Amino acid sequence: MCKGLGALPQTCLERAKEIKTKLGTLLQKPDNSIDLIIPYPEKLEKKPEKIQKPSPEDALQWRESLDRMLANSYGLATFRSFLRSEFSEENIEFWVACEDFKKEKSSVKMAAKAQKIYEEFIQTEAPREVNIDYFTKDMTLRNLVALSPSTFDLAQKRIYSLMEKDSFARFLQSKQYQGLIK
């Protein structure tokens, strides 16, 4: 599992701690770094984005695929609200965090985002732990050692599939969605 088929749970824990330590090392500033007082964009107060309500015809097109709905800001917001009502908002939050992670170019920011995503959504007993199998968790943990935009791809695909097969079908039957297409 962690280091072979007969790995003990303790070995898995040791491996997880080792990877977490390596990830923490990536986040440390070099000795010759300079502290710039530039706030991160996520810490700036953002004005709420005005999202235009789609026409019933546009909303009907969301039925074609989850991708189509998530590409629409109103669709994403409406789906997020629906998942919140079902107490499964962590799925869309994880998916959005992974999309944001893929766009990051700075290796320092990428490491910080990776650690935050892992601690918030992936690690056992995380505050908003997503429902993924052991193999996916293990592969994601291994991917943290050599960060790349595809670090969370497997876990993100599993959650996307879960939303597509389960939550999305219920969303299309929900009062929220039905109200948009009428």
- At 51 the pLDDT is 77
C-alpha span between 54 and 58 (Å, rounded): 6
Q: Are 100 and 94 in contact (CB under 8 A)?
A: no
Residues 6+ apart with CB under 8 A from 52: 74
Q: What is the CATH number of domain 54-181?
A: 1.10.167.10
Tokens of 25: 């090392």
- To the nearest 10 degrees (0 to 180), the angle between helices 89-103 and 153-162 is 150
Q: Judge whether 132 and 122 are in contact, CB under 8 Å.
A: yes
Spatial separation of the C-alpha atoms in residues 181 and 176, rounded to whole Å: 9
User: What are the tokens at 63?
Assistant: 């039925």
Contact predicate 102/151, CB 8 Å: no
Instruction: Give me the residue spans of the domains in the chain.
Output: 54-181
Q: Is the pTM of this model over 0.75?
A: no
Q: What is the pLDDT along the chain (182 residues), one digit of tens a residue?
A: 454 444 445 565 566 666 666 555 444 444 433 333 334 444 444 445 667 899 999 999 999 999 999 999 999 999 999 999 999 999 999 999 999 999 999 999 999 999 999 999 999 999 999 999 999 999 999 999 999 999 999 999 999 999 999 999 999 999 999 999 98
Per DSSP, helices labelled H in 28-173 are: 56-61, 66-70, 73-85, 89-103, 107-117, 134-143, 153-162, 168-173
Residue 52 pLDDT: 87
pLDDT of residue 23: 56
Q: One-letter amino acid identity for 115?
A: Q
